[in-house]
Structure 1
């Protein structure tokens, strides 16, 4: 192993220096010990994919020793991680690079390079930051950092030199910053992460700026102008403006400050359409397009503001607006039109989306894909408003194209209706319009951030959170995909739980290609059994230790009728993910070697995962598979998420449409059984009842506080029953409460729908009829023999049903009864013994004697069976003799 590290709990200087040294030594791994400083920690939340590193905990699990070690920003081994020290081989080559003049010994003079002891080299230079030393080394070796790396190194230098104002700052620091600027250093990002405190004068100035703020709208852009006046000079105006900028987050900020006889103007903007440099040139200043400044003498603040307002429109690019690229007039459909009629309109016009109007008001929009799915489900006669999207993203005619593009990206929509000043629909802009406009005119967009947001590399997370065996397996699967020239992904719940840091070894692999062919190839390589499912283009790999993974062909599914199992067709990974139930389950990680660890997120799934939202991918999701309504509740309660408002509206509408009733009982039962396997099943059951889903599963179940208490008691009792009986079904267990007091006809319907055994229904009715006497017998602690006379040895579901009516101490008494009937046996007396001893014939009489003996032994485990059966038989024979005499007398 070859390692680059820094001191424990690294700051920007230590971490950035590690990154710089890795540019010079690509075969080394960066290792971080402890917790990064807060501002670095915040930075890494956004940029950590750019700078992969290992933690000391990960290093501890590696068997190899460290043969080469580079230490930066600390003068020795004292402050590096203990795990790194443990891994150092005795003959390790160590290089130390540091800049701290206050802690160096006499042997480390400025610009010195010395060898101290065997294999240890120290490079010390007197600079304000270790990153300056590393930057100089990069420059000397002709290694140019990219824009993000240059900015990281710049943050480190600015932070450790106090924005180049500390006394420890040297020319090397200034030269390093200059070089980093040449490499693309972004000073705005530096200002965001370099923490600094304002002086008292600066704080007073900031307070005045905050109090003297006005906003203006110029050519559809919001302009914030603030001003302040002071008779003395206050240094660091740019720092004060930066504080204002990040605190208030205006789109465009112009600060006008008079200090004595001079007036300073500082401008910043986020908009690509506003040219701050051009504005400042009017005042004799300069800078960058989005950040610039100017200085004037002997002029009033009000005069400067007046000139800014009059001059600024010249430097706001009109660019292309919605009215320049929109399609007009707009083909619309009435909300009352049927889905079939709208489909015909789309076929004639070739439109893939049509706005829906009602009473001259825009009320929604519908896409071709939604229309086709609805027709496949036999919904063609329904009004189009039943499937339209009513939550609209609209824009005005003068909205810039750049804004339209951002709206499409942020809300994942393919078309935006355009309204005039009276909110009348006058046009529509599609993705195609945006693309064509972008080709004619370069529009600055958050393209890079979009890619990094949706497609980021999560290799570090994979190594950090998964067992080594799983990582190796994923690597091998990716290699086999490369060998067969097939893109391979791990998808679904595995990805979701990986990002949530929840263990999940249910691995689903999707292949863009022939999934069964791929499974056979992998099975051959890894000596695993392949179980193919030709109809669904899927296969299961079973390894010798029983471990399984599922492999599927990337596919799209369509449902010929609501609630039925889907028909399958080969597709791409994007369409494969789009067919899934919720956004949190619609992500994939690519496994092929050249893109190993790249997270594919087409639908802003990460955002929903971070915000804790359950969201469907399209409006017909619950119609295609109504069991998703139950699944939504399962995921919502499992992760403590919430069902998104629009998704909840669609769920309720489809529930009212009785789509859940169209699903087979076995599929609904499977979903309920999955809920019952969750850590808090009661939470999910309550939510099912709250949303009305439970009523559609059990039509004559009325969920009340009393029923809730009964189910709580059942769940408390279940573990004890499962310790004593095998194969207890939680579904049957809760059904003892949910199906209480059903009439015979409805119970028969439930039995046919959900597959209850006939004996279960019989025991349910028996317990229901005997519940009050049994409850009283338990509560008054009657002898086990008395209870046995009523329910005998019973069955576990009778006991579970009874437990719903019992408090905790009464449940304990019931458990002791169950233990008694399970452990009590007649050891000396049998049917044969009774027949031979008392010269009786085989028949009900023998069983009655044995049952009476068994009941007595339940109360007294030490009972003498021989003596007791003598008394029972004697009394029984005597009664039998008297009965015969009485019968003879009658004769």
Structure 2
């Protein structure tokens, strides 16, 4: 096991350093010992899902020794958790990364120590420098966490320990998207005596007003002398009281200073301060006025602020709906199964249509471990319900989660009926994105297109679809044809790959079809799907209308029976999320819940929800394929989400087999170079092949390779396009990375060896072909190679060079020794089987490449005579032995 850790009871600097090092060494596990300090603990209540780590308690359950350990923000083993020390193997390799002076010079003989100690304001600064040197990209959340650590440990760059490297580190992570607003919520610092007095007075002279459903706190004070760093005092108030919106009004001498802050996306503090001649940011701004009283300023604030409060996002805008619930009477085992299928870590409990409690996965697992699985879920549910209304602002939801330490809040309508649920993830997405894709924002459309089907589809297929609808009626199931078939029908593109979805049991429906047509049925029980293969080879796929729940990003989904609307909502893009009903009463009815036709008409690729690329990162590649195939464009928000998730490393979490499958589909398109260039522009190639630097030269090589590829396919069977482009994309990889890529994407070892072989002979071979040297000379270097060596070589050749290479390939393939064989040589010249015979045959074959009409027996006799002559000379030159 490989572990990253920091001191017990970590602060921001220790924890952030661990997260940064994990970016450099993804195969290490972060272990946190003890309880995080209060401000870090508060931070993790909201942002914990963005950072993967295990606790020392969880470490105890892992039966492995620690072979490598990286310790950050502490100079040795003394302050790390005992559980980690106990699991250290003998001769463990230990690396220490710290910014504190190493005054003890700790050395323990049984361990190998490597210490990286630099005098910086924060350990995180050292880690950021390492990330920068390696060109590692950060997500916004990661950059902000690292920023908080540096700001806190340098006292916002005011501590004497602050160095130039600390400023450079902040500069780098600022470019990666750190949020200063979030940083300002969590950093801590001390105040002077005057500042503490001012803070005390502000706390005494404060009042909270409810304005447009937002809580606005106004605090005021007056002093005859000037007190510096009013913003620091305001920050202390902010941390201590955690108001939603805070406005501080302080008279110092003859001048009044106003400072405002808000957590709400709906309150425009900058606009408010502009009324007083000030400025700043939307959520933090200030102003100053002269010749006015504190009372006058407060009066103007109360009368002016309503116009700077917008309605903003409410619970109804970000909640998940409908809600997966459990009945109070269901057993703990049944609820555990629901959680396993859906991937939910918490489920509301209802009884007689009323919300009565909520239960978490941890509680359910504990109950099952204690043998309580047969008991009703209501026996372990929490009746302490924190709920909110559909109109509750997002910031209020956030505050409720923090104050009550809950990860999800059920949402009730005006009749107190459960209509949705909001999780931590929903809050984070709403906080960092102003655009929320919700199916509620669309206008469902239902139009009958049976005439279009009759016009554009073959009669045989129309008859089959009508029959499938009739069979659905017989089984009391609604039957739909969905996905790409519908998309291409509307685009008037031939596509007879029929995907059927039924509201019912898909496998049962498929078996019924099989009986009617005497067809073969291949069921896939785990996914509630089946394939029906007709006698003439025509195939249709049948699925149960379902919602796919992804337990972890990039994993294959668990499946739960659902409705057609939910089934369509799980799909990749709107253009693929339409269905046509086939039952007789509604035959030909097009179901469009998400404005799909509009996107199809406008040539837009749009995801259906913000987690689409996280649930299945291969959709990023698929989106490019659809863009290029139809000459469409990704919608702006979809493109933004794609880039965020790409930089978040989600594509790396997918198995190599699935990525390879998507690339192979791209290579089947009419013009794959367009897609490869688009993937390059999106920086996607870098996330698929980590050391591939796509340049104009590489682009030209691939273009030449694609031109040569059809000619190779005419001469060889089963040539893989994926292997073909890999000869260029994997050029000049070091052995270690090449082996990693080989294992990830399943390349044969011989293929990788052929790439390295071609690299070594490329330059001389290119020159030989350009000079049109004899085939016999080329054969001595190249031999009879596999098709991928020829393809690799073609990428370096002009049209004339490729033409000459084809002549060589054809000559190699057609040339055969007719009379001279190994058996012939052994019989006529009494040669023994071995390397000499192979050498003679190779020499004769090479000569025949240049002159196919040579007399083989005559030429071979000359070759053997030359060999014998050479042997005699070597014997004569040997010194005599005494």
TM-score, structure 2 length as denominator? 0.53
Match of 1:348 among 386, 389, 394: 386
Q: Find out whether 1:384 has 2:422 as its counterpart.
A: no
Question: SS at 1:552's partner residue?
Answer: strand
CA gap of 1:472–1:803, structure 2 versus 1, over 3 A, is: same
CA distance in 1, matches of 2:592, 2:496: 21
Question: SS at 2:877's partner residue?
Answer: helix
Match of 2:746 among 755, 762, 776: 755
Asked whether the equivalents of residues 455 and 601 of structure 1 are also in contact (C-alpha less than 8 Å), the reply is: yes
Counterpart position of 1:94: none
Match of 1:858 among 849, 857, 861: 849
Matches within 5 A, 1:532-543: 532-543=523-534
Residues 31-69 of structure 1: CA distance to partner in whole angstroms, max 9, x if unpaired?
xxxxxxxxxxxxxxxxxxxxxxxxxxxxxxxxxxxxxxx
CA distance in 2, matches of 1:367, 1:492: 33
Displacement after TM superposition at 1:357 (Å): 4.8
CA distance in 1, matches of 2:543, 2:628: 29
Residues 813-864 of structure 1: CA distance to partner in whole angstroms, max 9, x if unpaired?
0011000111111111110001111111111100000000000011111121
Asked whether the equivalents of residues 342 and 384 of structure 1 are also in contact (C-alpha less than 8 Å), the reply is: no
Q: Find out whether 1:587 has 2:625 as its counterpart.
A: no
Displacement after TM superposition at 1:385 (Å): 3.0
For the aligned residue pairs, the C-alpha RMSD in angstroms reads 3.4
Counterpart position of 2:496: 505
Match of 1:877 among 868, 879, 882: 868
Asked whether the equivalents of residues 766 and 796 of structure 2 are also in contact (C-alpha less than 8 Å), the reply is: yes
CA gap of 1:413–1:603, structure 2 versus 1, over 3 A, is: closer
CA gap of 1:604–1:521, structure 2 versus 1, over 3 A, is: same
CA gap of 1:350–1:634, structure 2 versus 1, over 3 A, is: same
Match of 1:597 among 588, 597, 620: 588
CA distance in 2, matches of 1:652, 1:328: 25
Asked whether the equivalents of residues 314 and 390 of structure 2 are also in contact (C-alpha less than 8 Å), the reply is: no
Matches within 5 A, 1:683-702: 683-702=674-693
CA distance in 1, matches of 2:672, 2:313: 54
CA distance in 2, matches of 1:836, 1:888: 33
Match of 1:764 among 747, 755, 765: 755
CA gap of 1:544–1:881, structure 2 versus 1, over 3 A, is: farther
Displacement after TM superposition at 1:389 (Å): 7.8
Gaps of 5+ in 2: 1-309, 319-343, 349-357, 359-382, 399-406, 412-421
The farther-off stretch of 565-574 and 881-890 is 881-890
Match of 2:700 among 709, 723, 732: 709
Asked whether the equivalents of residues 314 and 394 of structure 2 are also in contact (C-alpha less than 8 Å), the reply is: no
Displacement after TM superposition at 1:331 (Å): 7.1
Residues 229-262 of structure 1: CA distance to partner in whole angstroms, max 9, x if unpaired?
xxxxxxxxxxxxxxxxxxxxxxxxxxxxxxxxxx
CA gap of 1:665–1:354, structure 2 versus 1, over 3 A, is: farther
Residues 245-281 of structure 1: CA distance to partner in whole angstroms, max 9, x if unpaired?
xxxxxxxxxxxxxxxxxxxxxxxxxxxxxxxxxxxxx
Counterpart position of 1:549: 540
Q: Find out whether 1:678 has 2:669 as its counterpart.
A: yes
Question: SS at 1:348's partner residue?
Answer: coil
CA distance in 2, matches of 1:626, 1:839: 66
Asked whether the equivalents of residues 346 and 368 of structure 1 are also in contact (C-alpha less than 8 Å), the reply is: no
Gaps of 5+ in 1: 1-325, 361-365, 371-378, 394-410, 416-430, 432-449
Question: SS at 1:617's partner residue?
Answer: coil
Question: SS at 1:714's partner residue?
Answer: helix
Question: SS at 1:853's partner residue?
Answer: helix
Asked whether the equivalents of residues 315 and 391 of structure 2 are also in contact (C-alpha less than 8 Å), the reply is: no
Displacement after TM superposition at 1:413 (Å): 5.7
Question: SS at 2:754's partner residue?
Answer: helix
CA distance in 1, matches of 2:430, 2:817: 69
Counterpart position of 1:313: none
Asked whether the equivalents of residues 333 and 355 of structure 1 are also in contact (C-alpha less than 8 Å), the reply is: no
CA distance in 1, matches of 2:528, 2:818: 59
CA gap of 1:621–1:333, structure 2 versus 1, over 3 A, is: closer
Matches within 5 A, 1:404-423: 414=440
CA gap of 1:805–1:514, structure 2 versus 1, over 3 A, is: same
Counterpart position of 1:813: 804
Counterpart position of 1:886: 877
Q: Find out whether 1:515 has 2:506 as its counterpart.
A: yes
Counterpart position of 1:190: none
Counterpart position of 2:561: 570
Question: SS at 2:551's partner residue?
Answer: coil
CA distance in 2, matches of 1:884, 1:845: 17
Displacement after TM superposition at 1:382 (Å): 6.6
Question: SS at 1:531's partner residue?
Answer: strand
Displacement after TM superposition at 1:348 (Å): 1.9
Asked whether the equivalents of residues 487 and 511 of structure 1 are also in contact (C-alpha less than 8 Å), the reply is: yes
CA gap of 1:355–1:823, structure 2 versus 1, over 3 A, is: farther
Displacement after TM superposition at 1:384 (Å): 3.1
Asked whether the equivalents of residues 388 and 410 of structure 2 are also in contact (C-alpha less than 8 Å), the reply is: no
Q: Find out whether 1:796 has 2:770 as its counterpart.
A: no
CA gap of 1:560–1:387, structure 2 versus 1, over 3 A, is: farther
CA distance in 2, matches of 1:524, 1:837: 70
Match of 2:712 among 700, 713, 721: 721
CA gap of 1:536–1:332, structure 2 versus 1, over 3 A, is: closer
Q: Find out whether 1:617 has 2:655 as its counterpart.
A: no
Asked whether the equivalents of residues 519 and 530 of structure 1 are also in contact (C-alpha less than 8 Å), the reply is: yes
Matches within 5 A, 1:340-489: 348-351=386-389, 355-357=393-395, 384-386=427-429, 390-391=433-434, 414=440, 454-489=445-480
Asked whether the equivalents of residues 487 and 592 of structure 1 are also in contact (C-alpha less than 8 Å), the reply is: yes
Q: Find out whether 1:832 has 2:829 as its counterpart.
A: no
CA distance in 1, matches of 2:466, 2:615: 35
Displacement after TM superposition at 1:538 (Å): 0.5
Q: Find out whether 1:744 has 2:735 as its counterpart.
A: yes
Counterpart position of 1:652: 643
CA distance in 2, matches of 1:328, 1:696: 36
TM-score, structure 1 length as denominator? 0.53
CA gap of 1:627–1:763, structure 2 versus 1, over 3 A, is: same
CA gap of 1:331–1:478, structure 2 versus 1, over 3 A, is: closer
CA distance in 2, matches of 1:499, 1:544: 29
Asked whether the equivalents of residues 512 and 573 of structure 1 are also in contact (C-alpha less than 8 Å), the reply is: yes
Asked whether the equivalents of residues 492 and 586 of structure 1 are also in contact (C-alpha less than 8 Å), the reply is: yes
